[in-house]
Amino acid sequence: RTKARVTAIPGDGIGPEVMRATRQVLDAAGARLEWEEALAGAEAFRRGIASGAPRETLDSIERNGVALKGPLETPVGYGETSANVALRKTFEMYGNIRPVRELPGIRTPFSGRGIDFVVVRENVEDLYAGIEYMQTPGVALGLKLITEPGCERIVGLAAALAAAEGRRKVTVATKANIMKLTEGMLKRVGERVLMEHPALQHEHMIVDNCAHQMVIRPEQFDVVVMTNMNGDILSDLAAGLVGGLGVAPSANLGDRVAMFEAVHGSAPQIAGKGLANPTALLLSSLMMLRHIGDFATARRVEHALYVTLEEGRELTGDIAREGPGASTGAFVDRVIANLGRESALV
């Protein structure tokens, strides 16, 4: 089999460390990948590139169609946009897939309940359209942009994902009771589109109740589809149920391009210290391997990771069961040493 070319964007803060760690594991597992490294984030902003992603990076993603991305700093100053959001928009990656699954050895107040669902977040519309202005001094307006085709494709993606993963239920979560036209659009389109998938159960839930339900009875969810902003907030909440952002993977999907990334940020406080936990990017890279059809390597690495989390040796400080925790490098070595072993929990 020929090698698949992948654009690798190490990113900011702990990004280069978790990217190195992930590549080491995939290479050791024999993934047939050719990495093309590309720049985005803080350094690009420093060079005066307003989008945070230079032309060569965009070209690389366009050519390869697949990217693995570390966290990018989001400037909070005026006038600069988030490089993350810019990349999603440039390639119209309208679907953000965020699996929420209990992991072995990662104990939380919710452990043992079999949490296993997927947040499908619309990724380019809504308040993220970035249309904001000062109406008059002291009065700021932001536009909540929702389109019918945008709703159709995100619900369609949720249904396709449910079918592909053998899931049974799709929950459409909206604030349609208040925002009748915008959130209401997703509710109405959701009902219509999901009617065409009789093998799937579907339901609508008001999004604040959905947040409550996720904490009270998270095991009830299977696939949850939401507008961009609601999905941003509830996917963080959902990650918190199963161990936090250090272990939360994601995929950004468009029609031509797919970009895989950890949900966490660049964690500048611990950058460069070898403390970062690469699990989130590693799990994201497994979504990537499956996307390009390399199920065997994905499975092999997933088993090794699960065995490592289960046995509890050489875990980084954020997930260590005792002591100060191991370095990123020691954790990676342990995962690599466990390649070939099988976990009953995969």
Clarify whether 236 is annotated catalytic.
no
Q: Which of residues 225-244 bind Mn ion (CB under 5 A)?
A: 232
Q: Which residue in the list 12, 126, 232, 294 is annotated as catalytic?
A: 232
Active-site residue flag, 208? yes
Q: Which is nearer to ligand IPM, 51 or 84 (CB)?
A: 84
Give the interface segment with ligand IPM, choosing from 58-66, 80-88, 276-284, 332-340 (CB under 6 A).
80-88
The two beta strands, 201-206 and 33-37, are unpaired
Q: What is the 3-state secondary structure (H, E, C) of 247-281?
A: HCEEEEECCCCEEEEECCCCCHHHCCCCCCCCHHH
Q: Which is nearer to ligand IPM, 52 or 104 (CB)?
A: 52
Q: Is 122 in the site for ligand IPM (CB under 6 A)?
A: no
Catalytic annotation, pick one of 69, 128, 294, 333: 128
Report how far residue 67's alpha carbon sits from residue 59's, in angstroms, rounded to the nearest whole number.
Answer: 11
Distance CA 187, CA 164 (A): 23
Residue 126 in contact with Mn ion, rule: CB under 5 A = no
Choose the contact partner of 74 out of Mn ion, ligand IPM, none; CB within 5 to 8 A by kind: ligand IPM
DSSP labels for 130-195?
A: --EEEEETTEEEE--B--HHHHHHHHHHHHHHHHHTT--EEEEEE-TTT-TTHHHHHHHHHHHHHH
Q: Is 78 a catalytic residue?
A: no
- With binding defined as CB under 5 A, does residue 73 bind Mn ion? no
User: Considering the complex, what minimum distance in angstroms separates the CB of residue 13 from ligand IPM?
Assistant: 12
Q: Which of 232, 302, 314, 333 binds ligand IPM (CB under 6 A)?
A: 232
Is 128 marked active-site? yes
Position 183 contacts Mn ion (CB under 5 A): no
Residue whose structure tokens are 């939360």: 248
Among residues 227, 196, 265, which one has the least CA distance to residue 11?
A: 265
Query: Is 185 buried (19+), middle (13-18) or exposed (0-12) by CB count in 10 A?
Result: buried
Catalytic residue among 116, 169, 208, 222: 208
Contacts to Mn ion by CB under 5 A: 232
Q: Annotated active-site positions, please?
A: 128, 175, 208, 232
